[in-house]
Copies of this chain bind each other. A is one copy, B any other.
Amino acid sequence: MTAHVPTHWRNLLADFPDLQSGTSDTLHDSKRLSADLSYLPKMPLSLGRQSRDTENRYHRIPEEVLALYRLYRPTPLRRARNFEQRINTGARIYYKFEGTNISGSHKLNSAIAQGYYYKKAGVEHVVTGTGAGQWGTAIAYACAHFGLTCTIFMPSVSFRQKPQRKTMMELFGASVYESPSEITDLGRKIRAESPNKLGSLAIATGEALELVGQTNKTQFAVGSGENHVLLHQTIIGEEAKWQLEQLGEWPDIIYACMGAGSNFAGATFPFMRDERGRPRPDCVAAEPMACPKITKGVYAYTETDFSGTTPIAKMMTLGSAYEAPGIHAGGLRYHGTSPFLSSLYQMGMFRGLALPQRQVFDVATDFAKAEGVLPAPESAHAICAAAQELGGKAEPRTCLINISGMGYHDLAGYAAFADGSLDDGILSDDEIAKSLAQLQGAQALV
């Protein structure tokens, strides 16, 4: 009766070695472009190797990491029978719920791994930016566990919407700043130019990067987008695969929300190239209309943060200057998505679907009543996409939804939806075009 927790992460990079050797210019070029950057060599070699390994399809999870995984894994995989009835579908909908750990989201899967590798590499102080606070909470917990200090920047809009997140991060001993902050040059500059800035993950990341190098024991940790983060998150899909196999199921379609891509990759990678040759599911990346980098963005070089100090990378993006409306799904406000995922998108390995905020909260509320799980607004995008596509259809497909996090810290959003004060958080096509034009201008410099 011991519960099954996978012992290996799935490295999808090994299935696409050409991406590194020139047939795609994405990773190749971003590697070249980032080669000179002083902060990268300070990333632990272990993580750097994970990010570039095109040989091993599986990486063994260190025992210290597994021991912490076992505090909250396996996470539940459940059939959403009540919800199926509610949306009147013939599909069998299973959901994987990553919100049961103390950080409240899947982010802990990578935070624990990164805490372990940073500690092993002799790092003492970790700095980072967090979107809605899920990553910040996770890395703060991991740092507390491994005896590292931690400084976190959080976009102003999320900082104000979700005060409990700050308490959680501080509970684990982290220092938390509203971004743009007064403690970095970048933050002060942006505040001087525009005092009411909502903030963004790109700005928060830029602020964190500014602190790197203050001491040679300080390093930057990233919560999504990078290949090693995607790798760590494959624990989700590996576990779901095993759980579905116990039920004799294989998914025809997978829904996961898409920010910078870590929960989407984690849920889908183990299914995309199956060892036993089973068919690749139809993988759907659910994104907010407030930040439609897949459905309305372009595949182009852009900065990964707002400071201009990080490597530029080719990805599906709206441009690093894009500032999304202050929707409650703060984790989906990032301007682009992972370079690796972007190249997979170019190859047709998945598709995108953009959703308006009110529809997302409407479905989330229904799901909470039906299944007794309160999804984070980010994760609710995946549920909403499934409801939109499967609702009212009799076809008996097998569907997997990844619910990446829980919504207890997002009740202000639920309350706003209930009292009618929530908007759809949609920017006009004109405004998106403006950001893209700025981006196209910048391409000339590459």
Contacts and interface: CB of A to CB of B under 8 A. Distances in A.
A369 interface: yes
Nearest to A247: B1
B101 A170 contact: no
A35 interface: no
Contacts of A101: 372
Contacts of A172: 368-369
Given A141-B372, A372-B72, A167 B409 contact: no
A171 B418 contact: yes
Contacts of A329: none
A78 interface: yes
B145 A369 contact: yes
A171 B365 contact: yes
A371 B101 CA distance: 10
A13 interface: no
A66 interface: no
Nearest to A166: B415
Interface in A362-384: 365, 368-369, 371-374
A412 B374 CA distance: 20
B71 A372 contact: yes
B102 A373 contact: yes
Contacts of A368: 102, 171-172
A16 interface: no
Interface residues of A, number: 35
Contacts of A373: 102
A365 B167 CA distance: 11
Interface string A76-102: 001000000000000000000000111
A164 interface: yes
A71 B369 contact: no
Contact of A411 (B164, B246, B415): B164
Nearest to A80: B71
Given A100-B100, A373-B102, A1 B171 contact: no
A408 interface: yes
A168 B369 contact: no
Nearest to A365: B171
A283 to B, nearest CB: 26
A167 B415 contact: yes
A298 interface: no
Looking at A108, A372, A412, the one whose CB has the most chain B CB atoms below 10 A away is A372
A321 interface: no
Contact of A78 (B71, B102, B108): B71
A72 B97 CA distance: 11
A141 B415 CA distance: 16
A24 to B, nearest CB: 39
Contacts of A418: 167, 170-171
A414 interface: yes
Contacts of A349: none
A422 interface: no
Given A163-B411, A171-B368, 18 more contacts: A71-B78, A71-B371, A72-B372, A101-B372, A102-B372, A102-B373, A141-B369, A144-B369, A145-B369, A167-B412, A167-B414, A167-B415, A168-B411, A170-B418, A171-B369, A171-B418, A172-B368, A172-B369
12 contacts: A68-B372, A71-B78, A71-B372, A100-B100, A101-B372, A102-B374, A144-B369, A167-B414, A170-B415, A171-B368, A172-B368, A408-B409
